[in-house]
Amino acid sequence: MVLPLYLSLPNSSTSALDPRRQLQGSESQHHPNARMRLHDDLLLNGYYTTRLWIGTPSQMFALIVDTGSTVTYVPCSTCEQCGSHQDPKFQPDTSSTYQPLKCTSDCNCDNDKNQCIYEREYAEMSSSSGVLGEDVISFGNQSDLAPQSAIFGCETIETGEIYSQHADGIMGLGRGDLSIMDQLVDKKLISDSFSLCYGGMDVGGGAMILGGISPPSGMVFANSDPVRSPYYNIDLKEIHVARKQLPLDPKIKRELHSFKQISGPDPNYNDICFSDAGSDVSQLSNNFPMIDLVFGNGQKYSLSPENYMFRHSKVRGAYCLGVFPNGKDLTTLLGGIIVRNTLVTYDREHTKVGFWKTNCSELWERLQISNTSLSMPPNSALTNSSQTFGPSVAPTAVQRNSPPRIIINMLISFE
């Protein structure tokens, strides 16, 4: 997820979470939804994946969910340089519905001017390239949306992290003609909105909904301007730590008296880590403060420690800050951990992004039970979602190649 945060003018409106919550299917134009399960974990695996079925008969693939990418692609059986991934490569010749995308003036073409091609390069210098084709894509048996014909990439070359990752490929949810979202919306099959819900620390999993939903009571919204950035972006007006407003200067000074600062797990990165914080995830809020992001419209989104800290992989009871410098750019990267146990709705139709604290692992179970309405129990409001779960398998060091990330338009450092 890519969300550049920008400073904005003051606004006095606020919003609070309401424990009486309800999640419903979209009421706009009565479009169906594609409800899909998320797998894996951001810290243990470096990403979250979903499952897509392509072709006739269908072939299954585990794809990294990425709101910053605009192409969905899988390894092709003709791949000249592809790694060993979770599932077998896609075989176009065995699909009776596969059609190569013929070269036209609207696409980049191969050297022989026969077929459309794509090329994508990522910040960590990995890349994917291949040919474009069209085939039937299915979203699983929990989806109201019937299988649809869509354009996707059939990889012929992978490099870097794309080559070495366990997942098969990428499911691109960004803005662009080749995006799965844009293709479905252009055909008027779904509303112009989708939602993601990543499971919490030590839990993982979650849920994804392609198509609109009626926003739950208490969902906090921020404006998102598609003209300002090619990525999904939101306004940021203020940051509060432990209820104290911080100046939005190039540096933010933060002192934790009770913890010793230690080196991070990877010597290649200058992580900020603290020891002696305890191994019980449910007690993190006793050791680290809440952080409030106040958006340009005045609404506030609160971050519990599980939303900005990750476990140190080499020191028991130590945690590191999930906030990273953005290369040479004077901005700061907040990892996808910032929206763990948070339903994030990308309402592209109304140019806004919504945030709603919930148990994302349980959300998938509720999606399986009901097709239209999901009532939340009165005690489901999470003021600190890390207190809701008992620890299971602890994630290790944070993975740097994870597509989900948030970009804040300022440099934040802890001294």
Q: What is the pLDDT along the chain (415 residues), one digit of tens a residue?
A: 444 443 333 333 333 323 233 444 444 457 889 999 999 876 677 789 999 999 999 999 999 999 889 999 999 999 999 999 999 999 999 999 999 999 999 999 999 999 999 999 987 789 999 999 999 999 998 889 999 999 999 999 999 999 999 999 999 999 999 999 999 999 999 999 999 999 887 778 899 999 999 899 899 999 988 887 778 887 778 888 888 887 654 343 344 546 788 999 888 778 889 998 887 777 888 888 888 988 888 899 888 888 888 888 899 989 988 776 656 655 555 567 788 889 999 999 999 999 999 999 888 777 765 543 444 433 333 333 322 222 222 223 334 444 344 444 333 333 3
- The span from the CA of 274 to the CA of 401, in Å, is 23
3-state secondary structure of 299: coil
Quick one: tokens of 4? Answer: 């550049």
What's the gap between Cα 229 and its chain centre? 17
| pTM, two decimal places | 0.79
- The whole-angstrom separation of Cα 308 and Cα 302 is 11
Letter string b/e over residues 252-267, b meaning 16 or more CB atoms within 10 A of that residue's CB: beeeeeebeebbbbee
Q: What is the DSSP letter of 39?
A: B
CA dist., res. 146 & res. 134, Å (int)? 16
Task: Say which residues have a Cβ less than 8 Å from residue 100's Cβ, sequence separation at least 6.
Answer: 92, 115, 131, 132, 133, 134
φ and ψ at residue 36, rounded to 5 degrees: -135, 140
Place of tokens 């146990």: 341
| DSSP helix/strand/coil, 24 | strand
Architecture label for domain 34-189 = Beta Barrel (2.40)
Alpha carbon distance 157, 50 (integer Å): 22
Domain ranges of the chain: 2-17+218-340+380-408, 34-189
